[in-house]
Structure 1
Amino acid sequence: MTATGTAPAPATTGPAHRDGNVLRWLGAYASSMAGDGVYYVALSWAAVQTGSPAQAGMVMSASALPRAVLMLGGGVIADRWGPRRVVIGSDAVRCAAVLAVAGLLFLTSPGLWPLAVLALVFGAVDAVFVPAVGALPARITGTAQLARVQGMRGLAYRFAVIVGAPLGGIGVAAGGAAAAFGLAGLLIALSLPLLISVRIRELPSDDGPADSSPGSRGTTAWRHLVTGLRRIRRHRVLAPLMLVIALGDLGFVGPFNVGLTLLADERGWGASGMGWVLAGFGTGAALASLLLAVRGRLPHAGRVAAHAILAGSVAIAALAQVPGVVAAVGIALFVGLSAGLSGAVCGALLQTQADPAYLGRVTAVSSLVSLGLAPLTMPLFAAAVGAWGTRPVFVVSAVLCGLGGGVALCVKDLRRAELPR
């Protein structure tokens, strides 16, 4: 296992979609994400069946806090110990935790406490898993292929989303929450042999500066975090790019996680209508990832990201103005295309602008808002809709999202940023 992990990744002269090393990583990523989808269905079903709606909501949101608190530290861990090792360890912990809860539910009816513990474990593990996943592409392929890999990763994620939720429903229908948790564990376990077979390029700075003084590990870890944050702050592209990503996430999360449900209820679209709108968004996002995966590189990347964000923000505001579900599906498809394109390009810029030795910390900072802080704004968004209605709140969210595109256009270094050939 160790010999396979330290074997250097071969120099890639062809496109990433023909590189077996990249494809093994993508297969592992898709399997792990599909397991996540099954896990969330199983967790929500078990929580609703076991406790009150309020208790179920607390269980479902329990992972957000450790994810937000520990995310920056997770980036340091990914850079210090190597992202491949961290991803393997994270998936192993998640697999063991899910299978343990599956066995517990199969043998007895323990109540809500194991579900809450499992959610907390997932949140803590996600805090190191997400930065490590973001740091891996630069270790398994060449710089010129990073944009294409970003598009392929987007496609793998969309595939996992499409497959994971139905599989979770089938598992619940076949054997209850215990069976669904068991299926989630098996899917996550499937990623482990694929990850073990992935070969990476080790970097000289992986382990950071040597320091053998007593208690130095905590001090060194803190120094690594501060060094990473300082490096991002001083970077002419990464610093404004972080602000762009944060504004875009804060403006997007409310409308498409809470607002869409409220909008469907207000307009009488029903659950099926909301499902069609979400399907339109997912289709648009998948098309954007496919474009980047096929092209491999888009010229004028900074400008493309900025204009895509601005176009998507206008579409978010328009979504709350249309009465019919057909028009809403069309607008959601455009939002997905714009958000998918801007997200993929911004992700590719992160991959290519950051030093690979800092990619764990860079990914942690970029993911902190979207995965840690933005979900915490959803109750505020719902309360604002209750006070002022969907239309003005959607417009405010769209303006916040559009500010990200404005920043990308106003900052010269980001506006002129290009992906490598």
Structure 2
Amino acid sequence: MIPRGGGLRTGRGVRRMTGTRARRYAIPRARRGPGAAAAAPDVWSRDFALFFVSRAVARLGDTMAPVALAAGLLQHGYGAGAVGLAMAAKAGAFAGLVVFGGVVADRFGTRRLMIGADLVRLVTQALVAVLFFTGRVDLGQVCVLGVVSGAAAAVFQPGVASTVPRLARDVQGANGAVRIAESAAQLVGPAVAGLLVAFASPGSVLAVDAATYAVSAVCLLLLRLPPLPGAAARAAGPGVRAFRSDLVEGWREFRARNWLWGVIAIWCVYMIAVWGPTVPLVATEVVRHHGPRAYGLVNSALGAGTVVGGLLALRLRPRRMLRAGAIALFTFFCFPGAVGAGLGVPAMAAGAAVAGAGLSFWGVMWATSVQTQVPADVLNRIHAYDVAGSLAMMPVGQALAGPAAGVLGAGHVLLASAVTSVVVAAALLAIPAVRALVRTDAPSAEVV
């Protein structure tokens, strides 16, 4: 369906717009003229540096919190089921509310909502830390605070998509830089959390996590974010009916792009059959046969690979980004495949590194495509549908992993996940709208 009053890029071509309608749907591009570089930096500027620090520090806290939560609950007599419930409370609230968060972000502006969300999470994580410091740990209270934190994350996350193209002319380069920072945090965070738990306490880790949200909020407060086109018009229509209308409009814009919903539909299969089973079963198999140190090494190799993928995304500028990303995604089979085949630790670590690089490169290509192809005034809602669709099936895959491993064996399930990952990458390339989508920004060098 062609969106009302707008142009739509599909695999068949582009409908062009002129005048005020074109300006309404335009995402800020490179300015021409002598002052272009100063007015619109490619990537690095004061404001992008603040956003970069905000994302890196907050991500570091996000990777530390699960370690502290699990260790703290186990120390206070709770079992693995309680740990899973506490984590699911936050994840469930996020997945269930992120679509509504996209509508709120498009209607009221992203910066204020992101700061507010950080402050809410500062309070929730601080309260959880207090529970562990005082020794009065109640699972129900932890779960309630997790729900509130997840709801705040659902309000925060949609704004990330529209912030990047407003701060940097080189959207792909900016996404690559953010991906590297987040990957480095993923690599370092769990190790730092483990040391703090061992030498201090789980409460101290959760206090550090709360502090990361304070740093993020300050960075966003100092940020000068250009306004989105049409922001005043959207804010002028409050009410339940207007909110519902915004939600429907976002869904129509989502459905109108074959490449967009096609990728999300395939990604649901990926989450159920590949990523969902891979995470718990790799941990189980590696720890069972090689010990926790080996699992730490494999996990670190995966993180190092994602950093490499981000660096590659800074260098390579394919004309058809989704096609290049799908090709890179073929490498993911190395991770579950190496573990499922029972290879040695060096081979599993190498497979994890290669898989991480391919997955990270795909992630940058996907994020950049969404941010540059989607109209600016619906980008937050589209990103919310993207996140919801991508994450909705992951718990299903994780839940099915155990029973499937009990029937077939964990190794065979991982091998099946490896084969499915190849099928998923091939399916992405089989969709004309995906493989033929041409980038709308101006790459410095075309390689694909």
Q: TM-score, normalised by structure 2?
A: 0.84
Alignment of 1:92 with 2:119, yes or no, is yes
Structure-1 residue corresponding to 2:157: 130
Structure-1 residue corresponding to 2:445: none
Q: Quick one: which of 258, 276, 281 aligns to 2:280? A: 258
Alignment of 1:195 with 2:216, yes or no, is no
Q: Quick one: which of 209, 212, 219 aligns to 2:241? A: 219
Letter in 2 for 1:166: A
Q: Which residues of structure 1 form unaligned runs of 5+?
A: 1-7
- C-alpha distance in 1, partners of 2:261/2:140? 41
Partner secondary structure for residue 298 of structure 1: coil
CA offset at residue 333 of structure 1? 1.3
Q: CA RMSD in A?
A: 2.5
- C-alpha distance in 1, partners of 2:415/2:329? 14
- String of CA shifts for 1:97-152, please: whole Å, max 9, x gaps: 1122323443452432332222212222222222122221122222xx11111111
Q: Which residues of structure 2 form unaligned runs of 5+?
A: 1-27, 443-448
Q: Quick one: which of 82, 90, 94 aligns to 1:55? A: 82
- Deviating more after overlay: 38-47 vs 150-159: 38-47
- Contact persistence 1:51–1:112 (CA under 8 A): no
Identity of aligned residues (%): 26
- Contact persistence 2:264–2:389 (CA under 8 A): no
Letter in 2 for 1:250: I
- C-alpha distance in 2, partners of 1:114/1:262? 29
Letter in 2 for 1:402: V
Alignment of 1:279 with 2:295, yes or no, is no
Structure-2 residue corresponding to 1:229: 251
Q: Quick one: which of 130, 133, 150 aligns to 1:106? A: 133
Structure-1 residue corresponding to 2:21: none
Structure-2 residue corresponding to 1:80: 107
Structure-1 residue corresponding to 2:391: 371
- String of CA shifts for 1:308-335, please: whole Å, max 9, x gaps: 2233236533441143111111111111
Q: 1:140 to 1:9 in 2, by over 3 A?
A: farther
Structure-2 residue corresponding to 1:5: none
- C-alpha distance in 2, partners of 1:79/1:399? 39
Letter in 1 for 2:305: G
- C-alpha distance in 2, partners of 1:171/1:85? 33
Letter in 1 for 2:377: A
Letter in 2 for 1:48: L
Structure-1 residue corresponding to 2:67: 41
CA offset at residue 380 of structure 1? 0.8
Q: 1:167 to 1:329 in 2, by over 3 A?
A: closer
- Deviating more after overlay: 127-136 vs 27-36: 127-136
- C-alpha distance in 2, partners of 1:348/1:400? 25
- Contact persistence 1:301–1:416 (CA under 8 A): no
Q: 1:343 to 1:246 in 2, by over 3 A?
A: farther
Q: TM-score, normalised by structure 1?
A: 0.89
Structure-1 residue corresponding to 2:202: 177
- C-alpha distance in 2, partners of 1:75/1:282? 29
Partner secondary structure for residue 109 of structure 1: coil
Q: Quick one: which of 361, 367, 373 aligns to 2:381? A: 361
Task: Count the aligned residue pairs.
Answer: 407
- Contact persistence 1:254–1:397 (CA under 8 A): no
